[in-house]
């Protein structure tokens, strides 16, 4: 059967086609179709973040469906908003692709973006499409703080406890399996294709009095190292407290410490805060600088685009 390509539809035909697949949430006064969208910001401040996904670098079409790529692209940006203690409201998506790309692929991608947004009540409100030699997604996410203070990386203080919510190491283990041309355990493969951020952990951490917070996108050691540097403190992780499920295999601890893209939430909390069972204490904040694991320096190994 002959497949319709993006080149067949043209730019405006593609925009019209994928816009029909989108739904708009309560924060959107004007969605796709005009020069710009209008998104409400009740707090008066807008939380904004952006990310890029490049074919062959962040995803492979032979490993992930277009729907998976859409869910992943939305998730990693929505998680950044939630990590500030905010409620995600909208996504803007720049989509570049070769003209021979099938329209069905772009539609599945749109469905993935839409469905991940629906998890948090956000919407895709606009963007742009251009011709390129490979698929590139440029995603901008917006959010609203609802009157709360933002959670940053610079608030950790000596005496705080370090805690994490969400799974760690699953996406990295899945990537390792796919690289070895393996398809089991399916749970790990699925984790690489589509993260499951605990979005409500951000606003929850704010209510609990967190002093610092981020989502784990580049590896626990590397990301908490950013918190230590921004806060001017030392963070020590206790490996006996880390969640290392058996499904992660023999390299489980390393995956937990250095694997990214699960988008768990890691934060620091005053010692007197009673944390819910969903949060797991994994370390301490002390005087000093840097990050240690069981009191010793650790080769970070996390993700770095230019290393």
Q: Please report, in range form, the residues annotated as the binding site for ATP.
A: 127-128, 153, 217
Burial class, 305, CB count within 10 angstroms (exposed 0-12 / middle 13-18 / buried 19+): exposed
Residues 6+ apart with CB under 8 A from 124: 22, 32, 90, 91, 92, 93, 110, 113, 114, 117
Given the DSSP bridges, would you call strands 123-131 and 87-97 parallel, antiparallel or unpaired? parallel
Known binding-site positions: 35, 49-51, 58, 80, 127-128, 153, 215, 217-218, 261, 303
Known binding-site positions for substrate: 58, 261, 303
Known binding-site positions for Mg(2+): 35, 49-51, 80, 128, 215, 218
Burial class, 163, CB count within 10 angstroms (exposed 0-12 / middle 13-18 / buried 19+): buried
């Amino acid at each position: 059967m002959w497949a319709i390509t993006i080149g067949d539809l043209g730019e405006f035909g593609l925009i019209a086609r994928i816009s029909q697949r989108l739904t708009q949430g309560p924060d959107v006064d004007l969605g796709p179709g005009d020069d710009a969208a209008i998104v409400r910001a009740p707090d008066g401040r807008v939380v904004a973040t952006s990310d890029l996904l490049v074919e062959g670098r962040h995803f492979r079409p032979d490993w992930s469906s277009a729907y998976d790529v859409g869910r992943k692209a939305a998730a990693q940006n929505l998680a950044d908003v939630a990590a500030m203690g905010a409620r995600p409201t909208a996504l803007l998506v720049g989509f570049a692709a070769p003209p021979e790309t099938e329209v069905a692929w772009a539609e599945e991608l749109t469905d993935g973006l839409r469905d991940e947004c629906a998890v948090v009540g956000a919407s895709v409100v606009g963007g742009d499409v251009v011709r390129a030699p490979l698929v590139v997604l440029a995603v901008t996410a917006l959010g609203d703080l609802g009157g709360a203070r933002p959670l940053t990386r610079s608030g950790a203080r000596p005496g705080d406890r370090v805690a994490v919510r969400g799974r760690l190491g699953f996406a990295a283990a899945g990537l390792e399996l796919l690289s070895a041309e393996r398809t089991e355990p399916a749970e790990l493969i699925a984790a690489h294709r589509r993260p499951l951020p605990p979005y409500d952990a951000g606003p929850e951490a704010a209510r609990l009095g967190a002093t610092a917070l981020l989502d784990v996108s580049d590896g626990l050691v590397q990301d908490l190292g950013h918190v230590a540097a921004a806060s001017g403190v030392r963070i020590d992780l206790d490996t006996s407290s880390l969640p290392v499920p058996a499904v992660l295999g023999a390299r489980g601890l390393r995956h937990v410490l250095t694997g990214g893209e699960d988008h768990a939430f890691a934060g620091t909390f005053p010692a007197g805060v009673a944390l819910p069972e969903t949060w797991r204490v994994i370390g301490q904040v002390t005087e000093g600088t840097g990050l240690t694991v069981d009191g010793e320096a650790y080769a970070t190994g996390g993700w770095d685009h230019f290393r």
